[in-house]
Amino acid sequence: MRSASFSVLLLTSVLTLGSCSLFRPRAKTPVIETVRTEDSPTPKTAARDLADVMTTELQLTPDQTQKVRTILNGTVEQANAAKLKYAPKSPELLAELKRINISSQKELQVVLGPTKFKQLQANQRKMAAEMQQRQK
């Protein structure tokens, strides 16, 4: 269970940190950027970028890639809805985010199968770093 909680927290971190305004590509024209906090909505690009990294690292089939994108997009949508519904850092928000991520992990496990899911768990830090590089 410990590795499952670790992977849940890492997925949340990946989606949260990967969407930080510091990691977004810069526009060619000057733009005033607002500071993104951990309570800010996570952009869908974070889910897309994580799915791309997972596809490469885990050598996913096109069908698996599509399913992973769907799962991650749903995770982002649900997490953003929870951030709107509950107060920042509230026990209710934390519980809802945990529930969302556990559900997402279960769905990913079904799509990836046991071998690739174990690879995902083992390589999550590396994938998070790669995702952040892609967003620069």
Q: Which domain holds residue 94?
A: 2-134
Look at the chain and report how many structural domains it folds into. Answer: 1
pTM: 0.70
| Cα separation, 13 vs 16, whole angstroms | 5
Per-residue pLDDT of the chain (136 residues; tens, 9 = 90+): 444 444 444 555 555 444 444 444 445 555 544 555 666 777 778 888 889 999 999 999 999 999 999 999 999 999 999 999 999 999 999 999 999 999 999 999 999 999 999 999 999 888 888 877 766 6
Residues 6+ apart with CB under 8 A from 76: 15, 42, 43, 44, 46, 47
Instruction: Read off the tokens for 122.
Output: 């083992």
